[in-house]
Amino acid sequence: QVRLIAITIVIIITLSTPITTNTSPQPWNILSHNEFAGKLTSSSSSVESAATDFGHVTKIFPSAVLNPSSVEDITDLIKLSFDSQLSFPLAARGHGHSHRGQASAKDGVVVNMRSMVNRDRGIKVSGTGLYVDVDAAWLWIEVLNKTLELGLTPVSWTDYLYLTVGGTLSNGGISGQTFRYGPQITNVLEMDVITGKGEIATCSKDMNSDLFFAVLGGLGQFGIITRARIKLEVAPKRAKWLRFLYIDFSEFTRDQERVISKTDGVDFLEGSIMVDHGPPDNWRSTYYPPSDHLRIASMVKRHRVIYCLEVVKYYDETSQYTVNEEMEELSDSLNHVRGFMYEKDVTYMDFLNRVRTGELNLKSKGQWDVPHPWLNLFVPKTQISKFDDGVFKGIILRNNITSGPVLVYPMNRNKWNDRMSAAIPEEDVFYAVGFLRSAGFDNWEAFDQENMEILKFCEDANMGVIQYLPYHSSQEGWVRHFGPRWNIFVERKYKYDPKMILSPGQNIFQKIN
Ligand code: FAD
């Protein structure tokens, strides 16, 4: 009872504290601390690059950037803040691929995790081949390259692999494998974490389990992950990669849900919508044969919105003779528009790393470092048809500005874990919907406006939609985001980061001195 009262008091205090960012300079000067000599910098180039992220819609300047070369460097920095009368905020920055300043630390210190990467160490596959221990600063592509050398692979991925292990574990890490293998946060066995008190702890589901579950999907609020132990399996060699086009949304979602209800079927399932009359490919994927571009475009023109179901089945020498048969059977059972089925056969690596080509292409045209006002949502299964009517066929068509891929695919809730911090809808099946927009520096606000329109539509219709890679401008937004799990989120914050110094860019809590 005493604990409950304490939590309630904490929540009242937190709720009554508006999220404001302290604009006055911090009265500390960590640059004078010798232990950070050569690692802590306030050079304008470092501070400038730590102020921005992939989103390019925020610019939030830290006072300094730490380039740690060891776990101790980070521990010392956190302790310095925690022990100080006037603590300072700090944030781990993985690869800076957030879209809304989530890895920033205004007037504080950004910890550039990538400076920890040492090519000679930091990744070790277990003797049994069942898991890999990896420094959290490594990119998933680097993990994949290393494990494939031994014929092994993690099983749960993001669509894009140039993200750090620590960054995706702080969010969830989802892709077309999630329905079957769970998000990346359910494929972690153990972690080393430095808490907001500067204490380092090894945690797993059996050891310091509360910290373990807090950190997974914890938006960087409870500690900095320095090592993660990730499950491995034997890597397949190749991937049969199929796409099917639909004009009817209910047929499309019925087929998606049927496919993900089978545990031994495909290895990957995603989906997307098409509303542009131009070529059906986008920056993220070059897939369709050029000879078919025209007829796909005219189908979009006729129906205004069409849907693409995408599945992959991995195979190797032992399954190469049955995979075609299996995919044929699947294709026969689907209710796509006949004649609009496409197939590719690629290496496992080429499939997982498929977004990289698009990235390099955009970079070569100077179109990568542009504003990305993204919006990612989890939509409960029972609401997805209303979402289609109101958003895809409503807001999106009416505004006619959507630029970039729009993903829509279901996942099974039982592959997640309620003890983790990640917020997800209550229903057994929910959809990930991603508006992956690219904009110009002068027009990104129009996209953001559309994002707000979509969020308002969902809220007014009481659909129980939750943001993934969330951004909320007020604490009320966060309280709604976590719903009944908000209390435990706050309780854990006070336990592991009582001065609220970690990951201020998420805009959830305000630092306490
Ligand atoms: P950052 O942006 O650097 O950090 C993100 C948050 O995590 C910050 O709050 C930061 O403080 C915290 N953090 C970073 N490292 C650590 C650490 N070691 N310990 C504790 N906290 C830490 N996500 C998906 O789930 N699926 C996708 O398919 C997917 N595709 C993407 C494609 C592109 C092109 C981009 C740009 C992003 C994509 N994302 C996807 C989103 C991505 O997973 C998140 O933005 C992720 O946070 C990025 O990782 P990062 O290493 O850049 O993290």
Residue 74, domain CATH? 3.30.43.10
Q: Are residues 346 and 383 in the same domain?
A: no
For residues 351 and 241, the answer to whether their CB atoms sit within 8 Å is yes
Q: Which two tokens stand for residue 267?
A: 């290895």
Whether 365 is covered by a domain: the verdict is: no
Q: Are residues 132 and 91 in the same domain?
A: no
Task: Select from 372, 278, 354, 282 the least CA-distant residue to 312.
Answer: 354
Amino acid 512: pLDDT? 82
Q: Are residues 400 and 436 in the same domain?
A: yes
Q: Which atom of ligand 1 is nearest to the CA of 219?
A: 9
Whether 407 is covered by a domain: the verdict is: yes
For residues 61 and 107, the answer to whether their CB atoms sit within 8 Å is yes
Range of the domain at 154: 123-234
Distance CA 442, CA 203 (A): 46
Distance CA 160, CA 99 (A): 14
Side-chain-side CA neighbours of residue 187 (13 Å): 26
Distance CA 176, CA 498 (A): 37
Q: Are residues 265 and 335 in the same domain?
A: yes
Using the mean position of ligand 1's atoms as its centre, give its distance from the Cα of residue 94 in Å: 7
- Where would I find the H helices in 185-268? 209-215, 249-260
Q: Which atom of ligand 1 is nearest to the CA of 136?
A: 18
Amino acid 1: pLDDT? 53
Whether 512 is covered by a domain: the verdict is: no
Q: Which atom of ligand 1 is nearest to the CA of 505?
A: 9
Q: Are residues 342 and 275 in the same domain?
A: yes
Q: Are residues 321 and 422 in the same domain?
A: no
Whether 220 is covered by a domain: the verdict is: yes
Amino acid 222: pLDDT? 98
Whether 465 is covered by a domain: the verdict is: yes
Q: Are residues 338 and 404 in the same domain?
A: no
Amino acid 14: pLDDT? 47
Amino acid 19: pLDDT? 38
Q: What is the mean pLDDT of each run of 10 residues along the chain (513 residues)?
A: 52 43 48 80 95 97 96 96 92 98 97 92 91 97 97 98 98 98 98 98 98 98 98 98 98 98 93 86 86 94 96 95 95 97 97 96 95 98 98 96 92 98 98 96 94 98 98 95 98 98 97 80
Report the CATH number that the domain containing residue 163 is assigned in CATH. 3.30.465.10
For residues 184 and 163, the answer to whether their CB atoms sit within 8 Å is no
Last residue of a domain, one of 203, 234, 265: 234
Q: Are residues 393 and 489 in the same domain?
A: no
Using the mean position of ligand 1's atoms as its centre, give its distance from the Cα of residue 359 in Å: 16
Q: Are residues 52 and 109 in the same domain?
A: yes
Q: Are residues 348 and 258 in the same domain?
A: yes
Residues with CB under 6 A from ligand 1: 53-54, 91-98, 102-103, 113, 136, 158-160, 163-164, 166-168, 170-175, 219-220, 224-225, 469, 503, 505-506
Amino acid 18: pLDDT? 35
Q: Which atom of ligand 1 is nearest to the CA of 225?
A: 19
β-partners of residue 265 are none
Whether 13 is covered by a domain: the verdict is: yes
Last residue of a domain, one of 189, 205, 234: 234
Measured CA angle at 509 (ends 479, 61), to 5 deg: 130
Q: Are residues 47 and 129 in the same domain?
A: no
CA 459 to chain centre: 22
Amino acid 311: pLDDT? 98
Among protein residues, the one whose CA lies closest to atom 53 of ligand 1: 167
Among protein residues, the one whose CA lies closest to atom 37 of ligand 1: 97
Q: Which of 158, 188, 436 to mutate to test ligand 1, by most ligand atoms within 8 A of the CB atom?
A: 158
The residues, ordered by sequence, that sit 6+ positions from 206 with a Cβ below 8 Å of its Cβ are: none
pTM beyond cutoff 0.90: yes
Whether 364 is covered by a domain: the verdict is: no
Whether 286 is covered by a domain: the verdict is: yes
Last residue of a domain, one of 214, 234, 254: 234
Q: Which of 60, 65, 93, 212 to mutate to test ligand 1, by most ligand atoms within 8 A of the CB atom?
A: 93
Q: Catalogue the active-site residues.
A: 97, 159, 270
- Number of domains present in the structure of the chain: 4
Report the CATH number that the domain containing residue 279 is assigned in CATH. 3.40.462.10
Q: Are residues 421 and 388 in the same domain?
A: yes
Among protein residues, the one whose CA lies closest to atom 13 of ligand 1: 167
Amino acid 5: pLDDT? 54
The residues, ordered by sequence, that sit 6+ positions from 319 with a Cβ below 8 Å of its Cβ are: none
Residue with tokens 């956190």: 78
